[in-house]
Amino acid sequence: MEKLSTQPYKGTRDFYPREMVLRNWFFGKIRKTLEDAAFDEYAGPMLESLELYAAKSGEEIANEQTYHFTDRGDRHLAIRPEMTPTVARMVSNKIGELNFPLKWFSMPNCYRYERPQRGRLREFWQVNVDIFGCDTYEADLEAITSAIRILRAFGADETMFRVHINNRRFFNDVIATIAGEGEERARKVSKIVDKKNKIPRENYEKEMGELGITAEQIAKIDSLYGMSVADACALCPESRGAQELASLFDMLTKMGLDRYCTFDFGIVRGLDYYTGTVFEVFDLAPENNRAMFGGGRYDNLVGLFVKNQISGVGYGLGDVTLENFLTIHHLIPDLYTGGTKVLVTVFDDVPYEHTACLVESLRDAGIASTLYIGKKKFGKQLDWGVKQGFSHVVIIGGSEYEAGEAKVKNLISREEQSVKIDELIAFFA
């Protein structure tokens, strides 16, 4: 019979124990950071009705980007490409019982049908952090603060990342001030600004010109990029967006978080979905200087499901992106060694139950430990333990057994000593 391929499906990953230690460290730190900031974790099913994504992003995008299929009950299902529709559904489903404002997070695996490339895989995990049910800047501040805390928890500092912040309401108002009224026009300008750095300057000017923006107005808009928040906000002081931006930066400064943050008029986030504060977190490493993740405020989270209006602010952070960032900045420690992990070797001339019971008592005391499983010579057992990253080997041969002792070998320092069997737990504890 022909043998099957041993490769994982394109764009997905196998996590062998070494990679899994990294994942658990990674998600453990994020969970602890968010729990310390009193965010509550939630989770939802990996399959949802396809219409959830079609209603949010349009039928075409939903069909193209998701894995979808029809079940035998003729339900059209999708493997989630993102978490927002699920959380919107969940919030809608218990809208009368939930204790708003909600500070929620989740760490789902998601699937997107795309060509695998650096930073993008078909299966990825995405940390989702959101605050629902508070529409003032304090929630924006808390969301941004939590993103900074996550990166700081990994040891990142202000030389490594920067949060670029803008406000969509401010953007619309300042464009109106400079180039005349019109929400639809501001929206079109935002699309051009969004791609400014990706297109030649002359195309940028041409597209702006097509919207009736004069060269003088373009120059004014250009000047916003280098401006301080205060100067920018002074251009339209009555704007709610300007006030939100000013309050947010005032507080970031007073909290000493301004060293991680910068005002950036170029951040608009493509999606029309965003309505207020928007932000993107940039990697400052020269070789990876780009937006890693971002988020912002949206005003109509639950509109697809219920009549209520609930606004939210949040962001999504992918595992592949974060791992790249940590790797580039050398923020991943040696996770495989460290901590006590004890291998007890076995010998034919010592009753198996003697060593087996010893291991059980070590485990009862919370000391990670195992017998060598199987019948191999001592050298092979020791090799196995070294390769597995054990910190200690406990050797109880015939003579140690007779004496009620064990030889304990530290595999890192290579020291060896004799310890009484009934003192072993205390030795390792």
Please state, in angstroms and rounded to a whole number, the distance separating the CA atoms of residues 408 and 418: 6
DSSP reduced 3-state for 132: strand
Distance CA 142, CA 134 (A): 11
Within 280-309, which residues bind a second copy (CB under 8 A)? 304-307
| Distance of closest approach, residue 282 Cβ to a second copy, in angstroms | 22
- Write out the binding residues for a second copy, residues 254-273 only, by CB under 8 A: 254-256
Beta strands 274-283 and 392-395 are: unpaired
Rule CB under 8 A: choose which of 25, 67, 378, 427 binds a second copy.
Answer: 67
**Closest separation in Å from C-beta 318 to a second copy:** 16
Q: Are 148 and 293 in contact (CB under 8 A)?
A: no
The answer to the question of residue 350 lying near a second copy (CB under 8 A) is no
Among 59, 93, 181, 426, binds a second copy (CB under 8 A): 93
**Does residue number 15 form part of the binding site for a second copy (CB under 8 A)?**
yes
Of 22, 47, 211, 291, which one interacts with a second copy (CB under 8 A)?
A: 47
Is there binding between residue 111 and a second copy (CB under 8 A)? yes
Size of the site for a second copy (CB under 8 A): 98
DSSP SS3 for 253: helix
| Identity of the residue, 292 or 367, whose beta carbon is nearer to a second copy in the bound complex | 367
131, 109, 116: which is closest to 34 by C-alpha? 131
115 binds a second copy (CB under 8 A): no
Cα separation values, 260 from 145, 152, 283, 318, Å:
10, 10, 11, 20
Which span sits near a second copy by CB under 8 A: 17-25, 191-199, 289-297, 394-402?
17-25
Contact residue for a second copy among 25, 27, 29, 55 (CB under 8 A): 55
Residue number with CB closer to a second copy (4 or 202)? 4
52 touching a second copy, by CB under 8 A: yes
Task: Return the residue of 66, 84, 123, 170 that touches a second copy, per CB under 8 A.
Answer: 123
Member of 62, 127, 129, 134 binding a second copy (CB under 8 A): 134
Residue 49, interface with a second copy (CB under 8 A)? yes
- For a second copy, the binding residue among 99, 117, 197, 413 (CB under 8 A) is 99
368 binds a second copy (CB under 8 A): yes
**Candidates 12-20, 172-180, 204-212, 407-415; binding stretch for a second copy (CB under 8 A):** 12-20
CB 16 within 8 A of CB 136: no
The verdict on 348 binding a second copy (CB under 8 A) reads: no
Q: Where are the alpha helices (DSSP H) in 125-265?
A: 137-153, 168-179, 183-194, 201-210, 215-224, 229-234, 240-254
Per CB under 8 A, contacts with a second copy among 193-232 are none
Q: How far is CA 15 from CA 23, 120, 147, 247, in A?
A: 9, 17, 26, 44
Span interacting with a second copy, options 7-15, 209-217, 271-279, 403-411, rule CB under 8 A:
7-15
**151-160 long-range CB contacts below 8 Å, 24 or more apart?**
151/281, 151/325, 153/29, 153/30, 153/32, 153/33, 154/29, 154/326, 154/331, 155/331, 156/325, 156/326, 156/329, 156/331, 158/259, 158/260, 159/284, 160/283, 160/284, 160/285, 160/325, 160/329
Q: Could you say whether residue 367 binds a second copy (CB under 8 A)? A: yes
Distance CA 401, CA 275 (A): 73
Segment contacting a second copy by CB under 8 A, of 107-115, 184-192, 290-298, 413-421: 107-115
Beta carbon of residue 375, minimum distance to a second copy (angstroms, whole number) = 6
Query: Residue 205, SS3?
Result: helix
Q: Which two tokens stand for residue 186?
A: 């501001």
